[in-house]
């Protein structure tokens, strides 16, 4: 039996975080959420997820800062990441290019169902 894919949703909009979690759980993923980058790092370290859905603009610690911290950890280098933001790719922080992001997604253009499908596609290509 395949193992359940573990997902962490780091999103400061609690309603949006709830919608993503609800859809991902309905699709069979194990999901935890966090409201900012500091909480996100703590949840990610405890869960060691397969993939992270990461907002960029958050209080306390931004998405790019959190991702830089994650990538600095040995175990954090292999975690898959989908950036979910309403900042266009042209306006994204340049540092993201060096932090190995699997997908860059504008939230307003994608439904939670489409995000769940992206997670499945990325994880299907990650099977060894």
**SS3 assignment, position 33:** strand
Rounded to an integer, what distance in angstroms lies between the CA atom of residue 123 and that of residue 102? 10
The pTM assigned to this predicted structure is: 0.88
Torsions phi, psi of 51, nearest 5? Answer: -150, 145
**SS3 assignment, position 2:** coil
As a whole number, the mean pLDDT across the chain is 86
User: pLDDT digits over 58-110, tens only?
Assistant: 888 888 889 989 988 888 888 999 998 876 666 666 665 666 788 888 888 88
99 in Cβ contact with 117 (< 8 Å): no
Could you tell me the two tokens for 19? 């919608």
Fold of 6-124: Rossmann fold (3.40.50)
């Amino acid at each position: 039996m395949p193992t359940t894919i573990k997902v962490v949703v780091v999103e400061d909009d609690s309603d949006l975080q709830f919608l993503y979690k609800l859809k991902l759980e309905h699709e069979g993923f194990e999901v935890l959420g966090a409201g900012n980058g500091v909480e996100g790092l703590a949840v990610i370290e405890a869960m060691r997820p397969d993939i992270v859905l990461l907002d960029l603009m958050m209080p306390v610690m931004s998405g790019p800062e959190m991702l830089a911290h994650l990538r600095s950890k040995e175990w954090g280098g292999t975690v898959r990441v989908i950036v979910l933001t309403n900042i266009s790719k042209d306006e994204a922080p340049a540092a993201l290019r060096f932090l190995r992001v699997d997908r860059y997604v504008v939230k307003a253009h994608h439904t939670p169902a489409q995000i769940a499908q992206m997670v499945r596609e990325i994880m299907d290509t990650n099977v060894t």
